[in-house]
Amino acid sequence: MGGNGQAEHDGAADRDIAVLLAEAADGVRIGAVPYRELVRGGRRRRARRWTLAAAAALVVAGSAGTLASAGGTDGEGRRVVPAATAPVTPDSRQVDKARSTAVARGTEHGEGWTVEALVWGAPRNVSEARAQLKTMRGYALVPAGIHAPSDLVGKGWYYGRLMRDGGLVSTFMNAPVEKGGTPPDGQVADAATLLDPEAAGGSRRLVVGRVAPTALEVTCTWDDGTKVKAAPAAPGTGLVGDFEDLVRPVDGSRANWFTCVAPKGEDHRSGAAKVTKVAKGS
């Protein structure tokens, strides 16, 4: 071996490797780039990513809905239920429960009496109607003209009842809610009843009715021409003291309810109740 033997050996080895690589390259055919296949592969990968993302979003939305129905809290610890995710249930629409409001209170012959308004929302199907009728029967109530649960679907219902010292005296209002939820402006849906059914020769002194929220005054006229005017109660005031002729809002009802009581001995048999003032622009 000479002084440059190592260099000569290395150069021969490099040349041999270069020849082998060239021969291997000659055996490989290089065609056109498979553009369409690459695009389709990319689309499939994007589709898979979108599918996984959508599935994850559904899981998150489902979790949010569960949390919303259970109720969350805000930064101050208040309970928060987002309207968009909180489910609407029969109970929240009061389909199988009555919304009850005391609209008048007074005293007759030393005994206290109360007018109670009961309002039900409209069932959306036969199953909800069946549950509602079962609840009504528990109140000893039967909606007038309803013969089967299907007859009640899509109809809200209201009752007016007279209670005396906690016991039921009479049910004197029994009707479906009008289309739109209230009587037309300027009209009333009313009924009269005896304050003391057990009294001999009793007169129908109590008149209860429903009016549109635009009514600013209702006038009840008795047989002798006596008139009683009922105006809206001050917002937020409950039943205080003895009877007052007033127009009041009722829970679950778009219509307001009014009450009038005639002087003792007067009757409403041929009298009338009518709206005598309506809000401007209505």
Tell me which residue of 91, 96, 218 sits closest to 157, measured CA to CA.
96
Q: What is the distance between the alpha carbons of residues 277 and 273, in angstroms, rounded to a whole number? A: 12
Q: What is the distance between the alpha carbons of residues 116 and 232, in angstroms, rounded to a whole number? A: 17
pTM equals: 0.65
CA distances from 33 to 39, 116, 131 (A): 11, 84, 70
pLDDT > 70: percent of the chain: 63
CA distances from 192 to 112, 205, 271 (A): 18, 7, 10
Residue-wise pLDDT for 191-223, tens only, equals: 988 887 776 667 788 999 999 999 999 999 988
Residue-wise pLDDT for 149-172, tens only, equals: 999 999 999 999 999 886 899 999
Q: What is the distance between the alpha carbons of residues 76 and 56, in angstroms, rounded to a whole number? A: 30
Residue type, 175: A
Return the structure tokens found at 140: 């000893």
Report the relative pairing of strands 206-211 and 189-193 from DSSP bridges: antiparallel
Q: What is the distance between the alpha carbons of residues 247 and 220, in angstroms, rounded to a whole number? A: 12
Residue 63 pLDDT more than 50? Answer: no
CA distances from 146 to 56, 153, 189, 255 (A): 49, 10, 20, 22
> So what's the pLDDT on residue 48?
58
Q: What is the distance between the alpha carbons of residues 99 and 132, in angstroms, rounded to a whole number? A: 12
Residue 101 pLDDT more than 60? Answer: yes
21 DSSP β-pair partners = none
Mean pLDDT check: name the lowest of 16-25, 28-37, 73-82, 111-120. Answer: 73-82
pLDDT band at 109 (very low <50, low <70, confident <90, very high): confident
- Interval 140-152 mean pLDDT: 95
Pick the more confident residue, 134 or 36.
134
DSSP code string of 217-229: EEEEE-TTS-EEE
Q: What is the distance between the alpha carbons of residues 89 and 163, in angstroms, rounded to a whole number? A: 31
CA atoms within 13 A on the CB side of 112: 11
Report the relative pairing of strands 99-108 and 256-261 from DSSP bridges: unpaired
Residue 69 pLDDT more than 60? Answer: no
Residue 59 pLDDT more than 80? Answer: no
Rg (CA), the chain: 40
**C-alpha triplet 80, 86, 92: angle, nearest 5°:** 100
Residue type, 120: W
